[in-house]
Amino acid sequence: MRRGRLCGLRRKFRTLEREAKMLSLQDVNARLPLVRSIVRDVMGLHRDLSERRGRLRELRERYPAPGVSQAGRTGGTAGSGSLVSGVGRVGPAVYEQEVVQMESELARDETRMAEYARELSSIGGSLADAGLGQVDFNGQLSGEQVVLSWQFDEPEVMYCRTGLRHGGERRLLMQAAGSGDLGAGGVSEFGQSC
């Protein structure tokens, strides 16, 4: 069911891919259902990749690849990759198979992460922080170029980045107090200059 809904959203936004790279706040907010779905997957994959990289690092430190000096280990020769490195002790060869499999899976999932980033790019977004689920969009507010910034737990775009560069400080977009005059971007004014 989710896949069918996503396919419909993707078709809807394919025409938007060809539009200008500067998006209004309304344009970005219209893309959020698809962006939210992609970012949910990105965050889960990021968390999983981080955990597996840590486990891989731990295995590599504890059981270096064959040929790497293993000074102080008993049984077998350094780097021999023997299954048993002493009576009742499992050696590095048992873990080497797991390491090779983990590296292969990591490479596959890093390719998936890059595909998610390309998918966001195709609808005007740029993955700013996979862990936090932040996506930036080159945008326009009140005729000014800005970098609009959205984060996974936010209902709509509420921030922009300082300057015209991605990765700068996020600043809150604010509606002018008491003003009902909203510009084409959906807000009348924004707080500090982005």
Out of 15-29, 30-44, 84-98, give the one with best mean pLDDT: 30-44
Highest mean pLDDT among 13-17, 96-100, 150-154, 174-178: 150-154
Q: Is the pLDDT of residue 66 over 70?
A: no
Distance CA 153, CA 92 (A): 43
Distances (CA, A) of 71 to 60, 79, 82, 184: 15, 9, 15, 68
| pTM score | 0.68
- Structure confidence at residue 145 (pLDDT): 85
- What's the pLDDT at 53? 94
Report pLDDT for 159.
94
Measured distance CA(175)–CA(48) in Å, rounded:
38
What would the pLDDT profile of 25-57 be if each residue is shown by its tens digit? 999 999 999 999 999 999 999 999 999 999 889
